[in-house]
Amino acid sequence: MKYATYILVMGFGLLISIGTFLKLAGIVKIDSDWFWFLAGLGLLCEGSTSFFKQKKFDRKYKIIERE
């Protein structure tokens, strides 16, 4: 479960890559809105992963500001 979000982001990237290749090769006809939907989900997963990792880092290493 530790790396599930990374695998999810890579899965969305793989889906977008394969879908684009199949569309360019003329094998399938897919609306571009589906690609933007997958890209948005991938960015959402990546952003949430970064956000939670940063919060975990901030709790572990408290930054003390000096005047």
User: Among all chains, which residue has been given the structure tokens 């879908």?
Assistant: 19
pLDDT value at residue 25: 94
Is the residue at 41 inside a domain?
yes
pLDDT value at residue 6: 82
Q: Please give the residue range of the domain that contains residue 41.
A: 4-60
pLDDT value at residue 21: 92
Q: For residues 8, 45, 9 and 35, what is the CA-based torsion angle, rounded to 10 degrees?
A: 110
Q: Which two tokens stand for residue 43?
A: 């960015």
How many domains is the chain partitioned into structurally? Answer: 1
Is the residue at 66 inside a domain?
no
pLDDT value at residue 1: 59
Is the residue at 43 inside a domain?
yes
pLDDT value at residue 32: 86
Low-confidence ranges of the chain (pLDDT < 70): 1-2
DSSP secondary structure, 15-57, as one string: HHHHHHHHHHTTS----HHHHHHHHHHHHHHHHHHHHHHHHHH
- Predicted TM-score (pTM) of the model is 0.68
